Chains A and B, each alone.
Chain A
Amino acid sequence: MLAVSRELLARIHRDGEEAYPEEGAGFLIGNEGSVVEIFPLPNAREDTARHNRYLITPEDYLKAELTADRLGLSLIGVFHSHPDHPNRPSEFDRDWAQPFFSYIITSVNKGKAIESRSWLLKEDRSEFLEEKIQIK
């Protein structure tokens, strides 16, 4: 289970809407299955791919990790949006996923964020399993 406040979930939705029709993404910062802060980042994919792909560079990863350290917290996952697509992970998501990270995916239809679901990669990397989002 992943605990997220209503306010942070609203910010994740807003990030997806602002990025539309491209994918928006960022880190979830927190501890023990609870999101305390989010860290939106620019989508570093080339222009032509940003509608269905996102990329966070190693440099931006380090920035987020330093921010988490400063807050006495950890990077616990990633959020990203699926413009005009369901909020289920793709094969590409699985190939690039990190174990133990929560992956919140928000479906954004015609510019409006509809719903978020959270997913965890199985340790054998074979599939994602859904984890319930608890609004705190």
Chain B
Amino acid sequence: MSTLKIPTPLRSYTNGQAEVTVNGGDVASAMTSLIREYPALKPHLYSEQGELRAFVNLFLGENNIKDLQGLETPLRENDRLILIPSIAGG
């Protein structure tokens, strides 16, 4: 079991919780577990095509998972993931 920190604007979908527990041996499984527990998060994290939205960044400790093994980055017991949106517009 790992923990995942939720950014402020998405906490309405996790009953106000700033951190939730997620299950899975890698980041992809942890995200699946997150959506199973809090399905209303899905449209804000995934596009209609089922891909992670461009603004979603996941950090394992201080490392962006893009610099590790992406969604296949393995998770160990008590690892801490942080979900941070890139804020952008035009």
Contacts and interface: CB of A to CB of B under 8 A. Distances in A.
Interface stretch (A3-11, A12-20, A90-98, A109-117): A90-98
A96 B55 contact: yes
A98 B90 contact: no
Q: Is the interface of B mostly helix, strand, loop or mixed?
A: mixed
B68 interface: no
A53 B87 contact: no
Interface stretch (B5-13, B20-28, B31-39, B70-78): B5-13
Interface residues of A, number: 34
Given A96-B54, A124-B43, A80 B89 contact: yes
Contacts of B7: 61, 65, 98
A99 B9 contact: yes
Contact of A56 (B8, B12, B88, B90): B88
Give the interface centre of B53, B55, B88 by most chain A CB atoms within 10 Å. Answer: B88
B10 A90 contact: no
B9 A100 contact: yes
B90 A92 contact: yes
Interface residues of B, number: 20
Given A54-B89, A61-B86, A75-B8, A98 B44 contact: yes
Interface string A30-46: 00000000000000010
Interface of B: 7-10, 12, 43-44, 53-55, 57, 59, 64, 84-90
Interface of A: 23, 25, 27, 45, 52-58, 61-62, 65, 68, 74-76, 78, 80, 89-90, 92-93, 95-101, 103, 124-125
Given A56-B88, A93-B89, A96-B89, 19 more contacts: A27-B87, A53-B90, A54-B89, A54-B90, A55-B87, A58-B84, A65-B8, A68-B8, A76-B8, A80-B89, A90-B90, A92-B89, A93-B90, A95-B53, A98-B9, A98-B85, A99-B44, A100-B9, A103-B89
